Amino acid sequence: MTTLRYCVNGKLVSGIAPTNRGFAYGDGVFRTMRLQQGVLQDWPLHYQTLVADCSKLHIVCPSAELLMQELKFFVQATAEDNHTSGVIKLMITRGDGARGYAPAPVSEPSRIFIQSPMPVYADTVFEHGVALYTCRTRLGHQPLLAGIKHLNRLENVLARAENKDSQFFDGLLMDYQDQVIEAVSGNLFIKQGDRVRTPALDQCGVSGVMRQKMLDWHRTQGVTVEACRLHLADVYSADAVIITNSIYGVLQVNRLDTQTLGHHPWAMALRSQLAHVTY
């Protein structure tokens, strides 16, 4: 597949109205998911998070049944071109609106599916890990939006634009208190002895589905993952550092800027345990 595909409110289109509040204000939320043979991986977790994020923005989340119906139509409409696998981005916006920040008392949320090719990762990414750069861009605190995957992601855009060197896979984002928060496109975990820790996301950052899978899986193993305040010193001294998201799953971080980080088979073990589940 060489082009993006779009589905808006159950219809194949090539764009969206500029009056849509998602376009005008970033007034909406999104999820990015793997599509394999026409089936969304980890859909129950993605939908659960979608509902929670919509609720925080006071947007009525469309039903899972409606979204699945539209996804199946979308996939079947492109099936003749073998587009049944790839990446699906689902956006829910507050819908169309008049000029001004104030949302209408009642609105019909817009549902947008975008399909794109699955990224191709080099084998070395999974075998040896990846390098991160430390972002100059810092995350501001806004507890009301903390953890939500909302459409206003300008901080991430600026952070990713900093990287001009292909040796770096992603960036490491901190806040203005020098606390490590996340990767530009994923969540972060560190292992120190028997302790597993991840940055607290109560002030800023995005809580991804793979992060939740990590928390849930460790809980079944009797291990409590500590969501806490982390700093660069914790990352440098860790036995292992990993980043996670729903597309690449789990990757080891072997270097931060010019400093080599601890080598540990943790990422490989987690990939075997946290393989994407098809529902």
More confident residue, 9 or 15: 9
Residues 141 and 260 in one domain: yes
Residues 137 and 260 in one domain: yes
Range of the domain at 99: 5-116
Judge whether 56 counts as a catalytic residue.
no
CA distance 182 to 205: 7
For the chain, what is the mean pLDDT? 92
Judge whether 32 counts as a catalytic residue.
yes
Q: pLDDT (tens digit, 9 = 90+) per residue, 236-252?
A: 999 999 999 999 999 99
**Least confident piece of the model among 48-62, 70-84, 227-241, 242-256:** 70-84
Residues 142 and 231 in one domain: yes
Determine the pLDDT at residue 81.
Answer: 60
Tokens representing residue 279 in the block? 């529902």
Residues 49 and 106 in one domain: yes
> Letter for the amino acid at 221?
Q
Determine the pLDDT at residue 279.
Answer: 27
Nearest in space to 151 (alpha carbons), one of 64, 57, 70: 57
Residues 269 and 254 in one domain: yes
Residues 266 and 199 in one domain: yes
pLDDT at 60 over 60: yes
Catalytic residue among 93, 149, 191, 244: 149
How many separate domains does the chain show? Answer: 2
pLDDT at 278 over 80: no
Q: What percent of the chain has pLDDT over 90?
A: 76
pLDDT at 65 over 70: yes
Judge whether 191 counts as a catalytic residue.
no
Determine the pLDDT at residue 176.
Answer: 97
Catalytic residue among 49, 70, 93, 182: 182
Flag whether 279 is in a domain: no
Q: Give the distance from CA 67 to its chain's centroid.
A: 19
- DSSP string over 64-95: HHHHHHHHHHHHHHTGGGT-SSEEEEEEEE--
Flag whether 278 is in a domain: no
| Composition of the chain by helix, strand, coil, percent to 5 | 25, 35, 40
- Banded model confidence at residue 276, pLDDT cuts 50, 70, 90: very low
CATH number reported for the structural domain that contains residue 20 in this entry: 3.30.470.10
Last residue of a domain, one of 86, 116, 146: 116
Residues 54 and 191 in one domain: no
**Cα dist. 59→50, 87, 236 in Å?**
10, 24, 40
Tokens representing residue 174 in the block? 């901190």
CA distance 247 to 264: 22
Determine the pLDDT at residue 181.
Answer: 98
Please give the backbone phi and psi of residue 195, each rounded to the nearest 5 degrees, phi first: -90, 135
> Letter for the amino acid at 206?
V
pLDDT at 130 over 60: yes
Q: What's the pTM value of the predicted model, to 2 decimals?
A: 0.92
pLDDT at 34 over 60: yes
Last residue of a domain, one of 116, 138, 158: 116
Determine the pLDDT at residue 277.
Answer: 39
